[in-house]
Amino acid sequence: MMKMKKVLSVVLLSSLVLGACGGEEEPKEEEAKTEDTATTAGSGEAEELYSNKSCVGCHGQDLEGANGPELAKIGAKLSKDEIKDVIINGKGSMPSIDVTDEEAETLATWLAEKK
């Protein structure tokens, strides 16, 4: 009986210690932004645009490709300006995307970093 109490005590204590060791707190949205919005507004904003503009439907959640080509390494194939041109004007079976010039710039900058 005494051994069982010790085991339960160790288990409870371990649970408390592990529970208190939470993960690293994520930075607040304001802290994540930097002065250089062309490259860093980027990631979060670009990913949101990517999802909201239906890019995911053809290019996949993780840029792996679906009905459209993979974009995971598109920056190694196309420049930022070429990517922006495809976003704005479309190419082949890809239609033009209804975005502002700033949104196209954000998406193109983000995708051009994928190499």
Binding site residue list for heme c: 55, 58-59, 94
How wide is the angle at C-alpha 108 spanned by C-alphas 107 and 110, nearest 5°? Answer: 65
Q: Which residues contact 24 (CB under 8 A, 6 or more apart)?
A: none
Calpha distance 56→60 (Å, rounded): 5
Type of residue found at 34: T
Instruction: Tell me the binding residues.
Output: 55, 58-59, 94
23 CB neighbour count, 10 Å cutoff? 5
